[in-house]
């Protein structure tokens, strides 16, 4: 968690406390929901990024030589909205896979329609292999990544799906 995220969480907790103290239960309930959704978002994004890192590390142990770099506070477009989050870049020779994941942080950034967060899996130069993902809350309450910017299709993303992206990165075109 970055310093900005920590400061934001602290500010939300203080605002929720003030709302409860002043009897503004509607605001307190909204802030509680916001805190809960932010935890789901963070958990989902952590899973996506760490799974790709783990798969790249496994490939490297087999001799692949994938270069790995990460960045926090990364901004990217998803539909008409701007997401703020993290990017993981995996490079193998001239090939590159960027994993961007985040959610809008301010009203002017836009919204994630029907979901909690958005992600892009972008293969440099191989547009057909790229995918847009959306983080949705499953029936069990856990966050789940699905294919599509608006969750259309509802095909759940599992580790085996991510392995295909690593295979595409490593394929000798």
Q: pLDDT tens, 34-65?
A: 777 888 899 999 999 999 999 999 999 999 99
How much is the average pLDDT of 105-128?
Answer: 90
- In this structure, how many other beta carbons lie within 10 angstroms of the beta carbon of residue 151? 20
| Amino acid 12: pLDDT | 67
pLDDT tens-digit readout, 8-42: 667 767 776 777 777 777 777 766 677 778 888 99
Domain boundaries, the chain: 44-170
Give Cα separations from 40 to 54, 63, 81, 101, 166 (angstroms). 21, 35, 20, 13, 25
- In this structure, how many other beta carbons lie within 10 angstroms of the beta carbon of residue 103? 26
- The rounded distance, in Å, linking the Cα atoms of 13 and 113 is 25
Nearest to 131 by CA among 114, 148, 145: 148
Quote the mean pLDDT of the chain: 86
| Amino acid 39: pLDDT | 85
Q: What is the pTM of this model?
A: 0.82
98's CB contacts (< 8 A; 6+ apart) are: 87, 88, 89, 90, 120, 121, 122, 124
Two tokens at 23? 């009897």
């Amino acid at each position: 968690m970055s310093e900005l995220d920590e400061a934001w969480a602290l500010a939300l907790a203080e605002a929720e406390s003030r709302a409860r103290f002043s009897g503004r239960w509607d605001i307190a309930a909204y802030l509680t929901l916001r805190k809960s959704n932010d935890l789901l978002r963070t958990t989902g994004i952590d899973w996506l990024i760490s799974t790709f890192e783990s798969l790249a590390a496994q490939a490297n142990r087999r001799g692949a030589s994938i270069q790995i770099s990460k960045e926090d506070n990364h901004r990217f477009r998803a539909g008409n909205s701007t997401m703020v989050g993290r990017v993981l870049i995996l490079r193998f020779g001239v090939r590159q896979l960027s994993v961007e994941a985040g959610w809008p942080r301010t009203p002017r950034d836009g919204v994630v329609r029907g979901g909690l967060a958005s992600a892009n899996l972008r293969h440099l130069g191989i547009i057909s292999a790229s995918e847009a993902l959306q983080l949705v809350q499953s029936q069990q309450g856990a966050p789940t990544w699905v294919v599509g910017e608006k969750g259309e299709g509802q095909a759940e993303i599992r580790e085996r799906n991510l392995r295909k992206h690593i295979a595409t990165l490593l394929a000798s075109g």
